[in-house]
Structure 1
C-alpha cells in the first residue's frame, strides 16, 4: 500500500529559525514530524553573519555557533537517532542593507556558496543521497541552494507560511527574490488560500496544506497548575500568547480593550519589541506582561485565560497569515476573538471576528458568555484537532507523490 507520508528519504531543512530558538517554530515541527517516518533529517541552523557577531555576540545561540566555527564543538549534533543539526562553520556577509540589485545578488550568491559548501560537507559525512531540500521561507540564504547542491539534492519544496516579502526588513529585495525561488522549486506548499494564490502566480505546483499543530503537550497526564506569574491577577483574563511586535499587532486595539474595560485583566505573554516596551500599556494597572515562556509551558498559561485574542494589524504580511496560536487556543476550549482578515475565512464559524477596536470589546463580552455553551466549546476543540502536523504533511506528501508520478510518466 502506498504510504501517505514521504518516507525513507534523506531530508535537508533550511529555514529562518535555528533549532535552539526559544519560541515555537513551524520548521522544527515539520522536521520532527518527518523524522517519524524513517526519514533521515539534517536541520541547518542559521549561519552567523557580520552584524549578528557585532550586535548579539553574547547571545547563547551566537556563542554556540562560534564554538562550532572555531572547532571548539562539533558542527554536526545528533539530537536523536537519524536526526542531526548543523552549525555551519562560516560567517556570511550582512546584505539586507544593500539597496541595489546587482551588488546584493553578487554578495548573496557568495553567501549561498559558503552555505552550500558547509552543507555539502555535512551530507557527504552523513552519506545522504537523493536529498529532498525543504526551504522554510528562507528566500535569501536559500535562493541558490537547490542548484548549488546538485546532484545530491534532487528536489526542492518551498514552504510559504508567512508573506515575509512584505515585511519592512525584507521588502527591498524580498518581493523580487521570493517569486524567483518559488518559480524554480519543484513544489510549493502554503498554510493558507491567500498564500496558495500568491505562489501559484509563479509555480503551478503550489498547494495549501493548512497549518499543523503539535497538541501533545496540551493534554498532560496531570491538570495544569496556575503559573506563579498569574497568581493574584483577577478575572476575567483576556490573554494573548506570542511575540509582540508592531509589525503584526495593533497597539490601539489592546489600549482600547484595557481602557474601556478596566474590570478585565489583559495578560500578554511573550517577548516584546522596543515599541511595545515603551507603549502606554505598561502604565495601565489592568495590563500584565509576562516574559517569554518555554514552548512546553505555553498550554499552562492559555489554560487560565478566559478569552484569547489575536489583535493583528492588517497589512501585507498578516492578511493571509494562518496564526497557529488560534488552534492552540481552541484546543483548550477557549473562545477566540480576532481581527478579520482573508485568512480568517477558514475560521468564520469558530472565532469572533472584529473590524474595529470597539468590536473587540463587544465580542469579548459575547465570548465570556458563550464560553459556558458546552456544545460550542466542543466545536472549537473538534475544529482545532483537525489541524495536526500529520494531516498537514500528509497533504504535502500526497501532492509530492502525484507530481513525481506525473513527471515520471512524461516522455523525456
Structure 2
C-alpha cells in the first residue's frame, strides 16, 4: 500500500497464547507498513474473578488500569504493534431477553468505545481502517463511531451458537450487510457471505513457513513404531467415534494427541487404548519440531454444518515439515487435492493412514514442503493488504 494507514483490529481472541492465530499472524505482518492497534478480546468480570481463583489468566491489572492498558509490543516478525486491553465487561451472553441483553451490552460498548477514544487521542488516530476479526457484536456496534474510513469483517470460522446463543445469527447478518467488505478464510464462508455483501474476498490461512521448514523432515522416519499425530485444540469439533474405531483397527501404530483439552470426553474414550497418549499444549516454538516427529498428521473433525467453514491452520503446518495428512471430509479443500488423503469412514481413514505411512518417500516430503511454501503468512498478508488497497481506491479514501 502506498500510504501508511492506521489499522485498528477489534479482535475476538487474545494476542498471546498457546496456539497459532490467523489474526495475530496477519496483524504482525501488516505492521511492517502500517500502524496497528490490536484490541484484545474483551475479558469479562467473570474472567477477572476466575483469574483471582487461578482458573485462567486474564491481564487484570491492565484491565483495571493499574498497569498501562496500552503497550507497544514486538512481534515475532520483528515489527511493533500497539496492544490494547479494555476494561472488564459484563458477561451478557447468557441473557435470553433481547431488551435486557441490549441494555447491559450497551454498557459494555460504552466502556469499550471510551477506552478506544482515549487511545485514539493519545496516538492521534483520525480515520482508521477498522478490521473486526470474528467479532460481529463489537464490530457492528463500532460502525460510524470511530470515524473509520473502512469497516472490514474478517471472518475466519463459521458462526455457531455455542458461545453467543442464537442471536449471533442476526448480528452476523446485520454486520455482514453494513460493513464495507468481508474477508473470509474459506471458499465456503465466502459463498455464504456474498449473499449479503458482494464485497467478499478470500484470504486463506497460511503457515509461518520459515519457522516450520527449519524443522522439516529430510527423509522418512526409520523406526519400528509409527506415530499418528494430532496437535491443536481438542474440542467439540473432534470426531471421537471415528478415531475410536481407527485406533482399534491400528493397534501397531502410536496415536499422540497434543493440545488444550476442552472436551474431556475425547480423553475419557480414547485413553483406554494402550497405543494412545495425550499431551498438554506446547509453546508455539515447540510445534514445528513436534510435528516433524510424526509419521502422519491427522485432522479428524466432525462432518457438520459448522465445520464446513473451516480451513484448518494445521494442514499447512503439517505439510511445511513434510508430514502427510489424513482428514475427514468436514470441508471442501480443493486446493489440496492430490496432496492429502480424505476419508469418509473409519475403515477408509485407517487404510489412508497405512497408505500414507507405507508409501511415503523423500520425494513426497519435498513436494509437500514446496506446496506449503506457497501458503506462507507473508504471502497471505500481502493478499490481505492488496484487498485493503483495492477497497481504499474504490471508496476514494473517504473518511
Q: TM-score scaled to structure 2, two decimals?
A: 0.91
CA displacement 1:65-92 (0-9 Å, x = unmatched): x21234331111111375211111x221
CA-CA distance at 1:21 after TM superposition: 2.0
CA displacement 1:143-184 (0-9 Å, x = unmatched): 3123222x2x22111111100x22422341211111111111
Distance 2:332 2:99 in 1: 35
Matched, 1:293 2:282: yes
Match of 1:229 in 2: none
Match of 1:69 in 2: 63
Deviates more, 1:266-275 or 1:76-85: 76-85
Q: Secondary structure at the match of 1:305?
A: coil
Distance 1:58 1:346 in 2: 46
Matched, 1:351 2:355: no
* Residue of 272, 285, 290 corresponding to 2:261: 272
Distance 2:267 2:244 in 1: 13
Match of 1:22 in 2: 18
CA-CA distance at 1:60 after TM superposition: 8.7
Match of 2:387 in 1: 399
CA displacement 1:91-126 (0-9 Å, x = unmatched): 211111122333323332331221111111112111
Gapped runs of 5+ residues in structure 1?
A: 225-232
Q: 1:337–1:354: 8 Å Cα contact kept in structure 2?
A: yes
Match of 1:129 in 2: 126
Match of 2:220 in 1: none
Q: 1:23–1:294: 8 Å Cα contact kept in structure 2?
A: yes
Distance 1:60 1:28 in 2: 24
CA displacement 1:15-66 (0-9 Å, x = unmatched): 12111222211111111010112x11111112321322333434597452x2
Distance 2:80 2:229 in 1: 39
For the aligned residue pairs, the C-alpha RMSD in angstroms reads: 2.3
Gapped runs of 5+ residues in structure 2?
A: 218-222
Cα 1:72–1:234 change in 2 (3 A) is: farther
Distance 1:223 1:208 in 2: 28
Match of 2:252 in 1: 263
Q: TM-score scaled to structure 1, two decimals?
A: 0.88
Distance 2:166 2:106 in 1: 17
CA displacement 1:284-312 (0-9 Å, x = unmatched): 11101110000111011001000100001
Distance 2:127 2:62 in 1: 27
Q: Secondary structure at the match of 2:382?
A: helix
CA-CA distance at 1:7 after TM superposition: 5.2
CA-CA distance at 1:319 after TM superposition: 0.9
Cα 1:308–1:143 change in 2 (3 A) is: same
Cα 1:267–1:117 change in 2 (3 A) is: same
